[in-house]
Amino acid sequence: MRYLPKSPTDRELMLREIGIRSVDELFAPIPAEYRLKRELDIAPSMAEADILDWFRQRAADTAASGYANFLGAGAYHHYRPVVIDTLISRGEFFTAYTPYQPEISQGTLQAIFEFQTMICELTGMEVANASMYDGSTAATEAVLMAARVTGRRSAVVARSVHPEYREVLASYAKNQGIPLAEVPFLENGRVNAAALEKAITDGTACVLIQSPNFFGTIEDVAAVAEIAHRKGALLVVAIAEAVSLGIVKPPTEADIVAMEAQSFGVPLSFGGPYAGVIATKEKFVRQMPGRLVGQTVDKQGRRGFVLTLSTREQHIRREKATSNICTNQALIALMATVFMTVYGREGLKELATQNLAKTAYAVEQFGKTAKVLFQGAPRFNEFVVQTSKDPKTLNGRMLKQKIIGGLPLKKFYPELGNASLWCCTELTRRVAIEAAATALSPQKAKPQVVSTEVAQ
């Protein structure tokens, strides 16, 4: 076995040193009746070349770069600068553990400190944690955190929050005795503020909205914050599309921001691993879950970084901890840190503006052949289209043109009829937008295969 650095002689020698004859003696503590008396039903060891070949075939059976992809909905197709993989592949980063021993973990610790700083800069919050599992669990943990901060035990959730985020929240809230009230959206796609105000009671710990919301619409965060705060509730803002922060005003009026950082250079990877983040005001930091890196000094006054405020965490506080979360997503957070560094202060703005331009163009084109819903409020890089035919049928047709159409919404929002959610990023090409708009037309147009090659 090529991963095992021992010769048969080494093993013999070690057994002799231990004072036993065979390795079986080491397994004597396991009662014989329970031991597996056969081989595992798993194929024998494979050669590297065969493994690569097997996965190449699986990859070939899965659509990716060869298609023009209009899916967003919480997972976004952005360009990943090549330096990301170069840097995260350094063994010192990717084969290290949680930085419990700061003297030999300063690389990881400093990178996390930089991550926390960049998240604060982008969200307008004062503190950010070292990352969590993903956006859905971050939003959930943010709601639980609001309950701890306020001592209140219910939450109000906008229906325009990602449906799967809401499902995750429901699984957690049910067992914590936190009832959830859902608030509908308006015709412009924004949360219904009047209904929201009515839904908030003296027991409401927080209001959870998403901005840009699931439909791509940017919420009026300040107005919602005003309503929530007036009733003594906190405002939690979820952000699923992090690139929006390059051009959309940060939700500074929020008390907690729960973010998905996938857009920042993390591969789509069929849904994970991604990285969630919670950012908040300094005064709430002791109720915030997840790891935190802080700056300090050694005896000679040299700057260094350590994990800090860890008494909030499970390994110390056990059943009284702020969360049961143990790992963060350090390597994914590092991808995001490199991405944010590559684009930086000007690039993130330019990148977000390109997304805005592609989407504005797509909305205009799609408007010619179908109905674009939720007009009248600003949107970032997603929009909802209503068609006369079932979007699944239309998408099936487009697949032949190497186009992956928008996400059919019937499963999540039956009230929207034949609606689908479309996303355009800097990678979406004009020809693909035009081809997709044509394909949505009720008049049957001649299907054209979209080339994903860059135009010469």
Residues 23-82 that bind other proteins (CB under 8 A): 23, 26-31, 33-36, 39-46, 48, 51-52, 54-65, 67, 69, 71, 73-75, 77, 81
Alpha-carbon span 185 to 47, nearest angstrom: 55
Tell which one of 5, 414, 443, 444 touches other proteins (CB under 8 A): 5
Q: Does residue 446 bind other proteins (CB under 8 A)?
A: no
Contact yes or no for 142/125 (Cβ under 8 A): no
Q: How far is the CB of 124 from other proteins (least distance, A)?
A: 9
Contacts of 413 (CB under 8 A, 6+ apart): 163, 419
Dihedral through CA 223, CA 206, CA 229, CA 184, nearest 10? 30
Residue 357: both structure tokens together? 């331009």
Which residue, 23 or 198, has its beta carbon nearer to other proteins? 23
Q: Which residue has the tokens 């009746």?
A: 33
Residue 424: both structure tokens together? 């355009």
Q: Interface residues for other proteins in 389-418 (CB under 8 A)?
A: 395-396, 399, 404, 407, 411
Tell which one of 104, 194, 445, 449 touches other proteins (CB under 8 A): 104
Q: Does residue 444 bind other proteins (CB under 8 A)?
A: no
Q: Give CA 218 to chain center in angstroms.
A: 18
Q: Does residue 445 bind other proteins (CB under 8 A)?
A: no
Alpha-carbon span 142 to 127, nearest angstrom: 14
Q: Interface residues for other proteins in 122-181 (CB under 8 A)?
A: 122, 126-128, 130-131, 133-137, 162, 164-165, 167-168, 170-172, 174-177
Which residue, 108 or 204, has its beta carbon nearer to other proteins? 108
Tell which one of 21, 283, 368, 430 touches other proteins (CB under 8 A): 430
Collapsed DSSP state (helix, strand, coil) of residue 429 = coil
Q: Does residue 267 bind other proteins (CB under 8 A)?
A: yes
Q: What region does 302 belong to: left with phi over 0, alpha with psi -120 to 50, or beta?
A: beta
Q: Interface residues for other proteins in 185-244 (CB under 8 A)?
A: 218
Residues 241-271 as b/e (b if ≥16 CB within 10 A, e otherwise) read bbbbbbbbebbebbbbbbbbbbbbbbbbeee
Contact yes or no for 102/304 (Cβ under 8 A): yes
Single-letter amino acid code for the residue at 81: P
Q: Interface residues for other proteins in 329-388 (CB under 8 A)?
A: 329-332, 334, 338, 340-351, 353-354, 356-358, 360-361, 378
Q: How far is the CB of 41 from other proteins (least distance, A)?
A: 5
Q: Does residue 11 bind other proteins (CB under 8 A)?
A: yes
Q: Does residue 449 bind other proteins (CB under 8 A)?
A: no
Omega within 30 of 0 (cis) for the link into 184: no
Q: How far is the CB of 19 from other proteins (least distance, A)?
A: 7
Alpha-carbon span 82 to 138, nearest angstrom: 28
Residue whose C-alpha is closest to residue 158's, from 203, 202, 211: 211
Q: How far is the CB of 56 from other proteins (least distance, A)?
A: 6
Q: How far is the CB of 311 from other proteins (least distance, A)?
A: 4
Q: Does residue 301 bind other proteins (CB under 8 A)?
A: yes
